[in-house]
Amino acid sequence: MIYQDSNTILEVQGLRACVNGKEILKGLDFTVRSGEVHAIMGPNGSGKSTFAKVLAGHTAYEVTAGTAVFEGRNLFELAPEERARAGVFLGFQYPIEIPGVANSQFLRLTYNTLQAQRGKEELDPLEFDDFVREKMKMLDMSPDFLDRSVNEGFSGGEKKRNEILQMALLEPKLGILDETDSGLDIDALGIVANGVNQLANKDNATVLVTHYQRLLNYIVPDFVHVMDAGQIIKTGGKELALELENRGYDWVGTEYREAMTTV
């Protein structure tokens, strides 16, 4: 939701980034204020997921130009774990499985790590158990998921729910959800989206990276951005997503190139 007196959470300017020497992001500008929900859409290979990973600090990507200011700090000077502690959260498209580590153990470890970093109280296993079970209700997750190994043998939908559960526990300022809708059936999509909606408030912001308009029926964005060839080439309101659904992406590119040649 757009608020009048909102603060800027993230401001990205002229971002360029490479992987293995190949430039993927080619001068990207992007601003997020508190309370807002942004959707980044675009065809395969346009750089959406790369952008998400660069924001989270994935080491495979090299930032070659541009700035990113997160809550007044230079994001690119922070290690991935420092970004997480500062309030950046990346929901993974393909969450990692960790056989041998119980989900409850993992969730409590990450929760307590961030609590300690933020000077807040850590929870012992019993306290945490009560706390996490409450959060799981919101995502319609069975408590069985606490005893199983992290993501091991989880279905696609279960993994994504587990991602949103982590977001619920870690309470980020900026939640970036990379293709959270991929691999979800319609019921799971509704549950995951409901979770994301419940977590959104006027002090945080959400960035949804997605292929399809479908997710945006459930999580209504304030802004829709179209990415193509490593740049954001069009920004609009939620109605832009519907237009993309009807007309595809090509026309946006054409329009953008025409505009560029006129300039």
Partner 1 sequence: MNTLTTIRRSPAGCFRTLLTGLPPLQTSPSSWINTLRAEEIDRLDMLTLPTKRDEDWRFTDISPLTKLTLAPVSNVTSLDVTDIEHFYIAEATTRQVFVDGVYAPHLSSAEASTEVLASNLPAALTTHAKLIEAHLGRHLSCDDNAFAALNTAVLDDAAVILVPRNVTLSEPVHLLFIATQKEVMNTPRCLVIAESGSEVTVIEDYVELSQPHSQEGAHLTNAATEIVLKDNARVNHIRVQREGSNAFHLANCAVSIGRSSHYQSVSVALGAQISRYNLNALLAEGAECTVDGLALIAANQLADTHTCIDHSQPHGVSRQLHKCIVGGSAHAVFNGRILVRQDAQHIDSVQSSRNLLLTSKAQIDTKPQLEIFADDVKCAHGATIGQLDHEEVFYLKSRGLSDNAARNLLTYAFATEIINRIPIASLKHQLEQRAFEQTRDQL
Residue 13 binds partner 1 (CB under 8 A): no
Min separation Cβ 173 and partner 1, Å = 13
Neighbours of 211 (CB within 10 A): 16
Tokens of 248: 């595809």
Binding window for partner 1 (CB under 8 A); candidates: 27-35, 112-120, 196-204, 224-232: 112-120
Sketch the per residue contact string, 149 through 168, with partner 1: x for CB under 8 A, - otherwise. Answer: -----------------x--
Residue 263 binds partner 1 (CB under 8 A): no
Asked if residues 149 and 103 have their Cβ atoms less than 8 Å apart, the reply is: yes
- Which one, 114 or 189, has the nearer CB to partner 1? 114
Interface residue with partner 1, options 114, 141, 188, 252 (CB under 8 A): 114
Min separation Cβ 205 and partner 1, Å = 17
- Which one, 96 or 186, has the nearer CB to partner 1? 96
Residue 212 binds partner 1 (CB under 8 A): no
Residue 117 binds partner 1 (CB under 8 A): yes
- Which one, 176 or 252, has the nearer CB to partner 1? 176
Contacts of 250 (CB under 8 A, 6+ apart): none
Interface residue with partner 1, options 8, 13, 31, 113 (CB under 8 A): 113
Min separation Cβ 84 and partner 1, Å = 4
- Which one, 97 or 187, has the nearer CB to partner 1? 97
Q: How far is CA 173 from the centre of its chain?
A: 11
Binding to partner 1 in span 47-106, by CB under 8 A: 56-60, 79-81, 83-85, 89-90, 92, 95-96, 98-101, 106
Distance CA 179, CA 213 (A): 12
Could you list the residues that contact partner 1 (CB under 8 A)? Answer: 56-60, 79-81, 83-85, 89-90, 92, 95-96, 98-101, 106, 109-110, 113-114, 117, 166, 170
